[in-house]
Amino acid sequence: MKLYKKIALALCVVIATSCTLDLREDPNAVQPSQVLPSLMLNSMQRGLAGLFNGTNGTGSSLTRLINGGSSIYRTTITPETFNGVWSTAYANILNDANTLMQLSVPDKTKPNERYARHMGITRIIQAYTLVSLVDMFGDVPFSQAFKGDGNFNPGVDNSADLYTKALELLDSAKIDLTTPTTTSAPPGYQSPIAPDIFDMYYGNGASSATTTFTKWVRLANSIKLKIYLNLRLTDATAAAAGINALLADNTATGGLIGYTTAHAVNGTGQTENFVFRYGLTTADPDARHPAFVGQYPAGGGDYQSNWLMWHMFHGYDATQGGQPGDPRIRFYFYRQVTANSTSTNEIRCLGESLPSHYPTSTGSAIIDNSIAGRAPMGVAPTNPTNDPTDAAWGRTFCYVSDRGYWGRDHIDPQGIPPDGLLRTAYGPYPVGGRFDANNGAGVSAGVGMRGAGMEPIMMRSFVNFMLAEAALYLPLGGPARTARQYFEEGMRQSFTDVRDWAVNGTYGTTTVAAAPNEAATINSFYASGTYTTDVNNYVASALAAFDASQAGTQPVDLVPGTANDETMNYIAREYWIALFRNGLESYNLYRRTGMPSGMQPVLNPTPGEFPRSYWYPANFANLNNTVEQKADLKPRVFWDNNTTNLDF
């Protein structure tokens, strides 16, 4: 027995002395040295879609693209609102990017051989995430982050410096995505043994290729355009120089989404739209668009913005298929009922009076909110902006039409009645819902595109609207078009992409099969030729407003300032409508320009200060001892020096 004990003791000593355990590492977790770069890049791509979806809601509600709750601006959002966004950004995307950059040099004895394509896409996602964080919160951590137990409380970096860092990352990314392999002449640093990439946005391709990643290069340049445009208020010289360089670049690292110096007006680049596509799987995990999942299977979900629907129903007196409205309205929204309810149990505001601070008309004069001003709805005498007898002015509160468009007014604190299968739902663009063919039926999981929607992260129309703004205010040279040309192109691309998504179920951005589409219903109910005619009429009305504002012949001045400011009001209106489901860019646009004018006021006549940035997330402010929560929502991001009063 003693012999057995001695043997057992000896074995224990051998085992104990032969094992080296790092108690800081979870033995059940995958360690960085075990990670495959392509799988980590997959995680970052999925994380980017989640980050974008998380940033959409607050910006959309503040800019009247969807309804927001509460009764004052300060409590419309809370620090806890952004915990998920913060975790996705730091624990997933940025931390993975930091790790992947190290893994992309597989042989440390050959530092000039790297997984360059992995690095390029990583840097673009990293830069987009960083800029998004700055645009929402201002100063955030970066240089001191990702040091593990070396720094549990990273301090924040100056947000202007982070914008500069993002530009550096994007420039490096473009080189990563175009450098040849090390065996080519001239030699590059793309490793000849780099694994192929599963590209969730633009399709798969060999990592050794240079042409496969051209679209990512144009995305990088489009993000740079966004950065420079945000800088135009604080550093117009640098903004103009940066945008001019983008427009003039004919090299392999040049081009924007939907635009190169060789592109003709009207009609290129749809496959360059940067979108994340959802699928049809309903469990483990649910692959459908989150907004569809929150609304279609059981009803309910987001309340649509009454103000956006008001604009789209009444603006320019536009028509769609012989009925009032923007030609996109049936693609954005699906009405579960086609007639207005008369029940105050379903819509409480039916029993309430028009708030005294809401815009209205006496029949002979339009009465504006004293701070908001008037909405840009056209320059023709019969357009709502100029006609006090227009029906639009009797529909600025509660109901926006006589046809069942059922949403809520801006920052509405009321509870939720049993209207889940009555309120207006999302349509096929971009959520993957049902096209509105006057069905008047409740939503369900099996209708429309069945949730196979997408996230419109950077569309070609966005690029042209940004260029229109830049051309209006900055000295652009080279092959640049006029602001009017960019404006028209942005509108036409938006109309085309909205319909094409619903009809085709794809933009051809990847080789993945098209999603279920609404082609048969749409082409039968709203023929392509009729849609084109309606679009042409709409664009003609918008261009008439552009021309009148430039010439100073508009019937009424809508904004203080120059002719360019009047023109920008219409550019902002069209960009704002095209930004449906992209709340962060609409929030940037609204802060940068204060437009479009005449936005619907909060129901509460004293809503407090409009948030010029967001609260720091609770999981950052409460756990990091180097930062203090903001006292209020007045602090502006560094590029926002716009003086327009948005506190209404």
Task: Assign 415 to helix, strand or coil.
Answer: coil
Tell me which DSSP letter residue 197 carries: B
Instruction: Give dist(CA 592, CA 580) in Å, integer.
Output: 18
The chain-wide mean pLDDT, for the chain, equals 93
Last residue of a domain, one of 186, 221, 256: 221
Identify the CA nearest to 41 among candidates 122, 149, 159, 127. Answer: 122
Last residue of a domain, one of 195, 221, 247: 221
Instruction: Give dist(CA 347, CA 565) in Å, integer.
Output: 38
Query: How high is the pLDDT of residue 212?
Result: 75
Q: Is the peptide bond prior to 430 cis by the omega test (within 30 degrees of 0)?
A: yes
Tokens of 51: 């980050």
**One domain for residues 196 and 336:** no
Instruction: Give dist(CA 72, CA 292) in Å, integer.
Output: 28
98-99-105 Cα angle (round to 5): 105
- Per-residue pLDDT band for 53 (boundaries 50, 70, 90) equals very high
pLDDT higher than threshold 70 for residue 170: yes
- Least confidently predicted of 79-83, 189-193, 400-404, 446-450: 189-193
- Per-residue pLDDT band for 319 (boundaries 50, 70, 90) equals very high
Identify the CA nearest to 144 among candidates 130, 153, 152, 154. Answer: 154
pLDDT higher than threshold 50 for residue 446: yes
pLDDT: which is higher, 517 or 19? 517
Per the document, the length of the chain is: 648
Say if residues 268 and 193 touch (Cβ distance below 8 Å): no
**One domain for residues 208 and 350:** no
**One domain for residues 212 and 295:** no
Instruction: Give dist(CA 219, CA 273) in Å, integer.
Output: 9
- Mean of pLDDT values over 164-186: 94
**One domain for residues 391 and 498:** yes
Instruction: Give dist(CA 218, CA 201) in Å, integer.
Output: 13
Q: Is the peptide bond prior to 32 cis by the omega test (within 30 degrees of 0)?
A: no
**One domain for residues 54 and 136:** yes
Single pTM value for the model: 0.95
Last residue of a domain, one of 221, 239, 270: 221
Query: How high is the pLDDT of residue 217?
Result: 97
- Mean of pLDDT values over 339-352: 95
608 lies in a domain? no
Tokens of 276: 């994340």
Query: How high is the pLDDT of residue 259?
Result: 80
Q: Tell me how many domains the chain contains.
A: 2
**One domain for residues 197 and 315:** no
Say if residues 127 and 223 touch (Cβ distance below 8 Å): yes
Task: Give the rounded percent of residues in the chain with a pLDDT score beyond 70.
Answer: 92
pLDDT higher than threshold 70 for residue 21: no
Q: Which CATH number covers residue 445? A: 1.20.120.840
Identify the CA nearest to 272 among candidates 97, 120, 456, 129. Answer: 456
pLDDT higher than threshold 80 for residue 179: yes
Q: Which residues contact 2 (CB under 8 A, 6 or more apart)?
A: none
**One domain for residues 300 and 430:** yes
**One domain for residues 592 and 507:** yes
Q: Which CATH number covers residue 202? A: 1.25.40.390
Sole residue written with tokens 């947000």:
159
Q: Name the E strands within 252-332.
A: 274-277, 319-320, 323-324
Read off the amino acid at residue 76. Answer: T
Instruction: Give dist(CA 552, CA 465) in Å, integer.
Output: 22
Instruction: Give dist(CA 491, CA 327) in Å, integer.
Output: 12
Identify the CA nearest to 359 among candidates 323, 393, 327, 403. Answer: 393
264 lies in a domain? no
- Mean of pLDDT values over 138-148: 94
Query: How high is the pLDDT of residue 5?
Result: 57
Task: Give the rounded percent of residues in the chain with a pLDDT score beyond 90.
Answer: 86
3 lies in a domain? no
27 lies in a domain? no
641 lies in a domain? no
Cα dist from 441 to 298, 334, 435, 622, whole Å: 13, 9, 12, 46
Please write the tens of the pLDDT for every residue from 253-272.
Answer: 999 998 866 554 444 689 99
- Per-residue pLDDT band for 113 (boundaries 50, 70, 90) equals very high
Tokens of 16: 């104990």
Query: How high is the pLDDT of residue 264?
Result: 42
Task: Assign 319 to helix, strand or coil.
Answer: strand
- Per-residue pLDDT band for 510 (boundaries 50, 70, 90) equals confident
Give 213-257 as a DSSP string: THHHHHHHHHHHHHHHHHGGGT-HHHHHHHHHHHHH--STT--BT
Q: Name the E strands within 411-567.
A: 425-426, 454-458
- Mean of pLDDT values over 369-374: 98
pLDDT higher than threshold 80 for residue 29: no
**One domain for residues 387 and 475:** yes
Residue 361: phi and psi, rounded to 5, are: -145, 145
**One domain for residues 436 and 577:** yes
205 forms beta bridges with 197
Q: Which residues contact 137 (CB under 8 A, 6 or more apart)?
A: 82, 613, 614, 616, 617
Please write the tens of the pLDDT for every residue from 492-507.
Answer: 999 999 999 999 999 9
129 lies in a domain? yes
- Per-residue pLDDT band for 513 (boundaries 50, 70, 90) equals confident
Our measurement of the distance from residue 176's CA atom to the centroid of its chain's CA atoms, rounded to an integer in Å, reads 26
**One domain for residues 294 and 181:** no
Instruction: Give dist(CA 167, CA 157) in Å, integer.
Output: 15
Cα dist from 400 to 405, 544, 568, 606, 628, whole Å: 7, 25, 25, 23, 43
5 lies in a domain? no
609 lies in a domain? no
pLDDT higher than threshold 60 for residue 23: no
**One domain for residues 553 and 472:** yes
- Mean of pLDDT values over 30-45: 85
Cα dist from 571 to 99, 492, 537, 567, whole Å: 42, 13, 17, 7
- Mean of pLDDT values over 173-189: 92
Say if residues 151 and 629 touch (Cβ distance below 8 Å): no
Query: Domain range for residue 66?
Result: 32-221
pLDDT higher than threshold 90 for residue 519: yes
